[in-house]
Amino acid sequence: MKVEIWSDVMCPFCYIGKRKLEAALTQFSNSDNIELEWKSFQLTPGLITQTGKSLNQFLAEHKGMSLEQAAGLNQQVTNMAKQEGLTFNLDKAVIANTINAHRFVHFAKKNGKQNEAEELLFRSYFTDGKNIDDYATLLQLGSEIGLNAEELKAALESNLYANDVQRDIKEAQQIGVRGVPFFVFDRKYAISGAQPVEAFLQTLEQSFSEWQQEHKMAAIEVTEGDVCKPDGMCD
């Protein structure tokens, strides 16, 4: 069963929500039958990458608040992340447009490494203070998860996967996504925000139960004949 997750790399609740979903999956007996698919969403699509500006400054300007208020909000988020085992170093965060990071995730998806790519990007932004809009950074992250460096470099330089990012964003608008993280379970149920683990677990159980009923294998009528069996006997 597929679980789709709309998120933006610079969204702290998306990283926290990822951990909450993962915690729910560890308690879910059918987790091996769950497929995660990350979808692109940009909170500030017109943002210009500003390596010299602190997150407190950006938040103060963007939200029209004081630096002290911005610092207080960032500390609250840091404390929330800590409860999920995450380390946020928001004083090191680099203000960056996320379009290239999303294209990187789509490249990783093509190569079966989407979830690993998403985790690395979150860690790079919130913990390591890396510029996730920088090609060199993305190439280094790609090497960490075994992506082909030459192919990734070519994809980034050619603006490949930009249409995929926009397609995800348009799809989010069509299904009514107004904020991220937004989790969609088998296109039937949705969770908006980094809700408690219990909410994720309950939704997983309900949606998977229904999915299982809809995907039951019909009984197969077998006409018997000569076969070879795993014990080596042929008859």
Average pLDDT on 123-150 reads 98
For residue 74, count other CB atoms closer than 10 A to its CB.
19
Q: What is the pLDDT of residue 217?
A: 56
Q: What is the pLDDT of residue 227?
A: 78
pLDDT tens-digit map of 3-48? 999 999 999 999 999 999 999 999 999 999 999 999 999 999 999 9
Name which of 180, 28, 149, 160 is nearest 99 in CA terms. 160
pLDDT tens-digit map of 72-117? 999 999 999 999 999 999 999 999 999 999 999 999 999 999 999 9
Residue 138 reports pLDDT greater than 90? yes
Question: What average pLDDT does the structure give for the chain?
Answer: 95
pTM of the model: 0.90
d(CA 219, CA 235): 24
Average pLDDT on 142-166 reads 97
